[in-house]
Amino acid sequence: MSDNKIYFKFDGKRYGGNEGDTIASALLRNNIKFVGRSFKYHRPRGIYTCGIEEPNALVQIINEHNEPNVRATVKKIYEGMVVKSQNRWPSLKRDFGSINNLLSPIFSAGFYYKTFMGPKGFWKKVYEPLIRRTAGLGKPPKEFRSKSIHIHHNVDVLIVGGGLSGLLAAKKLAGTDHDVLLIDRDDCLGGILKNTKKIKSIDNQRTNTWVEKTEWLIKNSKNIKILKNTTVTTYNFDNHLVAFEDKSVGKPPDNIKPELVLHKIRTKHTILANGHIERFISFRNNDLPGVMLAASFEKYIHKYGVVPDQNPIIFTNNSSTFSLLKSLVDLGHKPRAYVDVRDQKKIEKETLELLTKYNIPLYAKSEIEGCDGKNGVQKVSIRIKKNEIIKIKTSMLCVSGGFNPDIHLFTQSKGLIKWDDSLLTFKPDKSYQNTITLGSVSGNFSYEKLIGEINKKLSFLQGVNHLESTLDINGPKKFQIKELWETKHEKKSFWSKSFIDLQNDVTTKDLKQAILEGFNRIEHLKRFTTNSMGTDQGKISSINALGIVSKILKKNVSEVGTTIYRPPYTPVSFSAIAGRSTYEFYDPERKTPLHTWHVNNNAVFEDVGQWKRPWYFKKHTNETMHEAVQRESKQLRETAGILDGSTLGKIEIKGRDALTFINLMYTNSFTKLKPMSARYALMLGEDGMVKDDGIVCKINDQHFIATTTTGGAANVLAHMEEYAQTEWPDMNVYMNSITEQFATFNISGPKSRVIMSRVFNDIDFSNDKFPFMTFQNFNYLDTQIRILRASFTGELGYEIYIPPKYALRLWQRIFFYSRDLDLVPYGTETMHLLRAEKGYIIVGQDTDGTVTPLDLNLNWMIGKKKKDFIGKRSLTRSDIVRENRKQLVGLIPLDKTYGIEEGQHVIEKENLSTPIKKPVEMLGHVTSSYFSPTLKHSVAMALIRGGKRKIGSQLYVSTSDLNTIPVEVVETSFIDPKNERMLL
């Protein structure tokens, strides 16, 4: 095709649009007005506005991963774009869900809270599937993509809005020393200068020429940067604003370049020049396709060169519609009627002159009662006198209910607003931050006063010039409005509805009903009716709702108040927020120096914090996890096993007062511990609850190395730092993480001494020379390693600490020397099983922040003679010494063929009534459970009330199939309670 048209698809049909067209302007160009169905009632909906405020025309972009809820009035078309309408099934014209419109009594105010209560079982079988099928805005995207980046700005002045006020402000700042950022959400600057006929000329130049010249001047000023297609969505504390730039406007998706940019802006002063938004009026069927806001209609004419309809009816309560009237008659089009709520005497003479000149019927002191038509406006009813209604055929109705300063960002900044009785809207009152409002957002709708306002409000900025400009204004100079929020219904039928929130399908009747039900506070009313809770946040209607409510409550709008305007101002795609933090960049993956070896040996990995740890090693492809863990566990207790423990946190503590410090940080006493010895140590919070555990090695009184749980490393270091800095600043002690400085191997099992002696043939590993819980440093190649004799499996065991670059070589060497000894590599699951057999706890699995050392039977770890340590005093609090606290015990099933499930409840009774009528008293829950290949039955640990006294008794554990199994309560040490194997 060589006609310069851009072709795209809407609901399967091909349409052509012009370059720069939005989906909406292109559809209007093709005379398509019916573009979607509404959220609740599935009523036909059209294009209501020409910008970000659009409540109705939401579409899905199929070729952009199904991107839902895209505003057709904002998104620009490109060749090959595939667009689909929303909320309809099976098709736009025949929609099954529109039956909701007939069921509307059940969808009235508060329907979320009331309707779906009964009968029993209906929720799962009827309501939920029905709601899932027909409700919701659009459908979620099929896959996540992020091609966004974040950019930070630090500027002196941020100007939000590049319309008339924003451009004048920028002109005033051009060439000064202020670092300025000017942001406009459109693809061009100019605002009303481009979208309306309100200004004839500026400085005797045509408006377009003036905009071009001013933009050129700004660009050449060197101190002002312009961002277009960028919407400021958020205004935070300390003048921190967030803006969202769409780089791909009018372009098909690009697979390389970032499409979205999230700008994070910190500024000294914010100038809000973001204008105003037109609002609608509620009348019967004010949602029909063909009803459009008047200023939006005019914007289609000037910005896109589309006349949505040549002979619409204009309905207004204010002076602004002169501009639309003028635009239409200038093009030779004649509106069918001009309906003004105001008395003829109050209507501006400029408007009356035009109406007379072009012979357009004026209905003064009249209002639109409603409109009718199938899938679009066909007929409009005008109430010309109290009881007299006339009907006029038309396919479009342009409505203006007045203007609201766009105060969203201003209120986000926590500025105060006030009601203006002459403008009938809220406008900024007092800034909270360094925020300046200019032009219509400040409530100034008089162009004559604009230059004065800008000069006055920006005079405090250093080095700015006095701005001089002459504006030649078209039509009425002063903005006049008469209050009207809703017109009276004539017809009563299910189909006849007067909407207050188009996106959420809230009717004016819902507002009345909610107030009758007692929701007379505006914040309650909003939530109960869901008014203004859609993605458009009721931009064209929320003030109207306040107007209607204030009338019912017989209060002033300022007494009714307004709800909070929350960020973001317009919907922000998750992918923009995500930026580069996606997939592997979202949370870094940490791998040990042996990772490749694990991969090559068929390890299945488990995420522990950010670490990738081998969970178990598959011997052959068909081996299940259970089989692998049973094999690894059994093998280790028979010969030996090796675990990559490099992820364990390691903290080095040094200083003259290191011993005193360690004694305060841990429950155990380190005073009498000999140098080059180690202790299993517990760390508590000040509340006496177990926070972490690990082995603490004492090199000497001034030097310790503590290990922590893999997940707890950062917290433990922070905890130590906090106490060192805030409680004991005079202590000479320093600590640092050395987790990554050493790889750690845990070798354990009866054969581990043989293996160690072969690998390190010059070291004596005998009990005398290398007793349990001691460590030694050795030279190995050209580095130093530390070997600690310790065990977490209950078997004879050693831990080797070695700098990472030597790790793989040593690891392989160990396997080489134990090739005839069946050394088995094992993962975290086997480690968990083995320690559970031995009765060792895992902090975070067998504890949950409510468990003390006493509850865990770890009294032996408490340095009784120590005067103080963190949490000590709490251990004698009345609640901590209470006998029936939950305490850790072991459980064994009476019938050894049964397995116990982790997380199940421990109860006293065998039988549960079905259905359960009375709450069943729960004694506690199972914290760990494994099938022991050595004992050949299930072993479990549980936290149960008064557990210590229950040892020897019989209890029951619930199962996931609603049965119970009898268990015996035992001590937690299932294997080798005398530690003979460990001390071998």
Going from the C-alpha of 189 to that of each of 151, 161, 245, 478, 710, the distances in angstroms are 22, 8, 15, 25, 55
Going from the C-alpha of 63 to that of each of 57, 76, 97, 132, 142, the distances in angstroms are 18, 14, 25, 23, 11
Task: Report the DSSP pairing between strands 677-684 and 690-700.
Answer: antiparallel
Q: Is 561 in the site for other proteins (CB under 8 A)?
A: yes
* Cα gap 795→979, rounded to integer Å: 8
Q: Is 587 in the site for other proteins (CB under 8 A)?
A: no
Q: What residues numbered 444-503 form the site for other proteins, per CB under 8 A?
A: none
Q: Kindly tell me which of 7 and 734 has the beta carbon lying closer to other proteins.
A: 734
Q: Which stretch binds other proteins (CB under 8 A): 340-348, 716-724, 746-754, 975-983?
A: 716-724
- Backbone φ and ψ for 686, nearest 5 degrees, come out as -65, -20
Determine the longest span between alpha carbons in the chain, in angstroms: 115
Q: Kindly tell me which of 327 and 411 has the beta carbon lying closer to other proteins.
A: 411
Q: Is 720 in the site for other proteins (CB under 8 A)?
A: no
* Cα gap 821→798, rounded to integer Å: 16
Q: Is 737 in the site for other proteins (CB under 8 A)?
A: no
- Backbone φ and ψ for 927, nearest 5 degrees, come out as -95, -35
Q: How many CB atoms lie within 10 A of CB 195?
A: 22
* Cα gap 323→970, rounded to integer Å: 87
Q: Is 562 in the site for other proteins (CB under 8 A)?
A: yes
Q: What residues numbered 208-247 form the site for other proteins, per CB under 8 A?
A: 236-238, 240
Q: Kindly tell me which of 207 and 562 has the beta carbon lying closer to other proteins.
A: 562
Residue 962: is it exposed, middle or buried by C-beta count within 10 angstroms (0-12/13-18/19+)? exposed
Q: Kindly tell me which of 234 and 630 has the beta carbon lying closer to other proteins.
A: 234
What is the DSSP code (8-state) at residue 128?
H
Residue carrying the six token digits 């130590």: 720
Q: Is 150 in the site for other proteins (CB under 8 A)?
A: no
Q: Which stretch binds other proteins (CB under 8 A): 122-130, 184-192, 626-634, 717-725?
A: 717-725
Out of 868, 883, 961, 980, point to the residue binding other proteins (CB under 8 A): 868
Contact yes or no for 603/616 (Cβ under 8 A): yes
Out of 491, 877, 896, 909, point to the residue binding other proteins (CB under 8 A): 877
Please give the full DSSP string across 297-351, using - where no structure is assigned: HHHHHHHH---S-SS-EEEESBGGGHHHHHHHHHTT---SEEEESS-GGGS-HHH
Q: Kindly tell me which of 133 and 418 has the beta carbon lying closer to other proteins.
A: 418
The 3-state DSSP class for residue 59 equals strand
* Cα gap 651→649, rounded to integer Å: 7
Q: Which stretch binds other proteins (CB under 8 A): 434-442, 739-747, 823-831, 869-877?
A: 869-877
Q: Is 430 in the site for other proteins (CB under 8 A)?
A: yes
Out of 144, 432, 585, 816, point to the residue binding other proteins (CB under 8 A): 432
Q: Is 609 in the site for other proteins (CB under 8 A)?
A: no
Which of 481, 469, 291 has its CA nearest to residue 394? 291
CB of 434 to other proteins, least distance (A): 13
Q: Which stretch binds other proteins (CB under 8 A): 183-191, 246-254, 475-483, 719-727?
A: 719-727
Q: Where are the alpha helices (DSSP H) in 3-150?
A: 23-29, 99-102, 111-114, 122, 128-134
Q: Is 872 in the site for other proteins (CB under 8 A)?
A: yes
Q: Is 522 in the site for other proteins (CB under 8 A)?
A: yes
* Cα gap 743→812, rounded to integer Å: 14
Q: Is 850 in the site for other proteins (CB under 8 A)?
A: no
Q: Is 883 in the site for other proteins (CB under 8 A)?
A: no
Three-state SS sequence of 703-745: EEEEEECCCCHHHHHHHHHHHHHHHCCCCCCEEEECHHHCEEE
Out of 722, 740, 921, 971, point to the residue binding other proteins (CB under 8 A): 722
Residue 764: is it exposed, middle or buried by C-beta count within 10 angstroms (0-12/13-18/19+)? exposed
Q: What residues numbered 669-708 form the site for other proteins, per CB under 8 A?
A: 686-687
Q: Is 254 in the site for other proteins (CB under 8 A)?
A: no
Q: Kindly tell me which of 161 and 415 has the beta carbon lying closer to other proteins.
A: 415
Out of 66, 223, 874, 973, point to the residue binding other proteins (CB under 8 A): 874
Q: Kindly tell me which of 29 and 408 has the beta carbon lying closer to other proteins.
A: 408
Q: Is 867 in the site for other proteins (CB under 8 A)?
A: yes
Q: Kindly tell me which of 565 and 605 has the beta carbon lying closer to other proteins.
A: 565
Q: Kindly tell me which of 418 and 456 has the beta carbon lying closer to other proteins.
A: 418
CB of 524 to other proteins, least distance (A): 11
Out of 195, 230, 233, 411, point to the residue binding other proteins (CB under 8 A): 411
Q: Is 417 in the site for other proteins (CB under 8 A)?
A: yes
Out of 558, 601, 671, 737, point to the residue binding other proteins (CB under 8 A): 558
Tokens describing residue 658 = 């290191």
CB of 687 to other proteins, least distance (A): 5
Interface ranges with other proteins (CB under 8 A): 236-238, 240, 266, 411, 414-419, 426, 430, 432, 522-523, 558, 561-564, 686-687, 718, 721-722, 725-727, 729, 867-868, 872-874, 877-878
